[in-house]
Structure 1
Amino acid sequence: MLSQTLLVLALVACVVGSALPVRRFPHTGPARRFAVSRGRIFGGHDATKGQFPYLVSLHHDILGTQYHACGGSILTSNAILTAGHCAVDDTDVFAVAGEHDMSSSEGTEQEIRVSQQIVHPDFAGGVAPNDIAVFILESSLSLGTYVQTIGLPTSGSLPAGGSTAVTAGWGRTETAGEPNILQTVDVSIIDYETCSQDIDELGFGNPLTDTMICTGPLYDGISVCSGDSGGPLVQDGLLIGVVSWGLNMCGYPGAPSVYTRQQQQQGQCRSSPWQQQQLQRSCQRFCQPASQPASQPASQQQQQRQCRSNPWQQQQLQRSCQRSWQPASYAE
């Protein structure tokens, strides 16, 4: 059965923190067919510093040791979009923005603890539809050159088969194992019907649904891999997909990389009032210019003052909140 071939891999890649020791943890589970993608880009190259300012590394902290677990994209100054299978229980999670080279501290990194993990209510776990989550941060990121938000596509948009997109991550490569420098690669969109046929031909079962996006090329050794989960698929400067799953043998000939399609999830936002409410609260928490008492913690007061004193930044944050989570503006 297909369920017997699916495996949630625990990705691990080293991230150097400012104070905590960091380790790489090898995958120790059994080999299976399809798996969620938690590793590095196959067939990619080094990204330039600041090329992906909306990308974060999500760290797990276990007994004082941090390790890279997933990627994520900055929707607002304190909301990160990632994969549902990146959510964990009983483990502290930190978002590191402004990261590029994990082997050194470059002075642009911002590390903030995740205070809430909001997983799509219809995500069943493993390789499945609705593999998406929003992580709410304990405090706001400071937006700037190396830390920025990214928008979502407009209602009704669908990437065309054969068009080009880009993805990025800190995962395992085919030559260098787990490089410290962020990797990126251009990919081509595969339309749903073609992708479904491609997966059928692999003979491992077919978990694809029309809420997903596939990319290739299929025969050039290019793919996402374990540890890239939750990372972005970007086209024309907009986040069109979140890395979800692929064949366990990264870069396998004929096997596409698969992402959760963002237009579909925008429609789901309308049908999940609780999730929408949490996101709206996160958007408003640090940028209410006149409602905070003087007794508010200093760090929170500082964030609010920044919002008040920087109208452009406040406007961008508000637009980002509205653009991503307005309940009535997206197609089903």
Structure 2
Amino acid sequence: MRTPRFAVAITAALVTVTLPVLNTTAAAAPPDKVSVAANPTDQLRTGDWGTRIVNGERTTVKEYPFVIAGMRVGGGGPQGQSCTASVVGKRKILTAAHCMVDTTGAKSYFYGDDDLNTPGDETFRTAVASFKTHPGYTGSGGWRTGYDVAVVTTVDDIPVPESQWAKVAGSGDSALTQPGKSGTSLGYGKTSAGGGSGELRKTTMPVNDPAGCQVFDIRVNGDLMVCTGYNDGRTADCSGDSGGPFIVDGVVVGVSSWGSSACDRYSIMARLTNAMGDWARAEIGGTQPGDGKFGMALSPSAGKAEPGKHVSTSVTTTAGDQGPEKLELSASALPTGTTATFQPSSTVDAGQVAKLTLQTAASTPAGIYKVIVTATGTSGAKTAEFTLTVGDGGTVDGPRPSASPGTGTVPPGGYANATITVTGGTGSIRLSATGLPYPPSFTPQTVKSGGTSRMTVMGPYQRGTYKVSITATDSVGNTGTTTYTLTVR
């Protein structure tokens, strides 16, 4: 008998814990196994945790002077440690929304301590005066759908110099969360089933294409989340890391949001290289510490055009600390037959505004496209996304899934496979299913029209016949279903 793994909001620290599945050998999580969403991890019972420590290394507040420990009455870590956060202003802290909404108990912050196991070592502690969660956060459990970011205002000034505040990413920094980048995750947290370590730790994890991270029963939404880490348990965020920073090139590009309760799969961050980061920066107020580079943003960041028509947006640039520099503008990932024109020129000085016009062709297929706008200067490059909708965004009839074979027979707890083929639909098509205690897994979970996926189902332990309803949802919300019959003997 196997025990299902659970996906959870990560409310306790960076030290990575791999949990065995009813045995003492912690093997890599099978790629076709689905992790089921559950409650925030610091609310799980101690007996639910394994004891193997996975990577991560000790670090100090001196090395990362903006890191601060989130505490709450009843928190599972030493002295009530529950979350991790970043100092971003004189009285401002950046963390995950679920750290403020989904957990009970009065909340406060400790600063300056590398190890919370020895009370009294902190140089500063303060209570929470108020906090704001992103308007898109839907309340308790909202981390499942995204917008898991909050800005906290403290009662007292935090003793961190402005030059050492964490720098928060915005919509002009989308290149920092492109797949292939690598970043550092920080946090205080559990190293064993016995409780939280309370030690400040760090680990390095890659940024992954979200399409390859669909191993949970809730969707990893690449527009709102960053999928980091690995699927084999070598390192991950864990209970107590929630709200902690994920840093790429010295910039906080995400806050630790959720993952597997076993801490053995991908770690999902709330993405800040988009409008969420812009919101956080506005709530923080003031100016962000300079990085010597220019800035770039699109206004608007989305638009619609019928085939053969055009749509425009403004490319606004700002000079960095080193002053104006020449920027070369370009656009990529254009749909078929579409051209991009910058006016008055594709070469501008940082601080100037250019008009970008996307001209579609009569033959451009209807759909929703992510156009990448890039500005390149002597100090580096910045990218931003423009969401282009062509026509009605896709076909009217929606995707049509089919299963081959359409039936399967297994013993209690056994596994069966089927190939799911999808035709029709627009853009990326996500597969899901209902009708079983443990949702089937799909490899891959997202396909294009004409693509196939392997579905793996686990038979319930109660014998009988089960109707599995398979749903395909395309990028514009159209759906189609088919049925797979599973017999457990």
Look up the match of 1:198: 213
* Uncovered stretches (5+) of structure 1, i.e. residues with no partner: 14-31, 271-275, 281-317
Look up the match of 1:150: 166
Look up the match of 1:256: 266
Look up the match of 2:468: none
Question: 2:81 is paired with a residue of what secondary structure?
Answer: strand
1:244–1:260 CA contact under 8 A, matched in 2: yes
What does the per-residue CA deviation read over 1:231-272, in whole Å, with 9 as the maximum and x for residues that have no partner? Answer: 000011110100001122211xxx3110011122134469xx
Question: 1:85 is paired with a residue of what secondary structure?
Answer: helix
What does the per-residue CA deviation read over 1:154-175, in whole Å, with 9 as the maximum and x for residues that have no partner? Answer: 5422223222200111112369
> Whole-Å Cα distance in 2 between the matches of residues 10 and 230 of structure 1?
8
AA of the residue aligned to 2:227: C
> Whole-Å Cα distance in 2 between the matches of residues 223 and 12 of structure 1?
10
Distance 1:34 1:189, change over 3 A: same
Look up the match of 2:106: 92
**Equivalences for residues 127-276 of structure 1 within 5 A:** 127-144=144-161, 148-153=164-169, 155-158=171-174, 159-173=177-191, 178-191=196-209, 195-199=210-214, 202=215, 204-251=217-264, 255-264=265-274, 265-268=276-279, 276=282
Look up the match of 1:18: none
Look up the match of 2:133: 119
1:35–1:246 CA contact under 8 A, matched in 2: no
AA of the residue aligned to 1:214: C
1:12–1:67 CA contact under 8 A, matched in 2: no
AA of the residue aligned to 1:156: G
Look up the match of 2:316: none
Identity of aligned residues (%): 23
> Whole-Å Cα distance in 2 between the matches of residues 167 and 37 of structure 1?
18
> Whole-Å Cα distance in 1 between the matches of residues 204 and 9 of structure 2?
25
Question: 1:162 is paired with a residue of what secondary structure?
Answer: coil
1:163–1:188 CA contact under 8 A, matched in 2: yes
Distance 1:77 1:268, change over 3 A: closer
Higher strand content, 1 or 2: 2
TM-score by length of 1: 0.65
* Uncovered stretches (5+) of structure 2, i.e. residues with no partner: 1-5, 15-34, 43-48, 302-489
TM-score by length of 2: 0.45
Note if 1:34 corresponds to 2:49.
no
Distance 1:134 1:187, change over 3 A: same
Number of corresponding residues: 253
Among 123, 140, 144, the residue aligned to 1:109: 123
2:71–2:110 CA contact under 8 A, matched in 1: yes
Distance 1:129 1:216, change over 3 A: same
Question: 2:206 is paired with a residue of what secondary structure?
Answer: strand
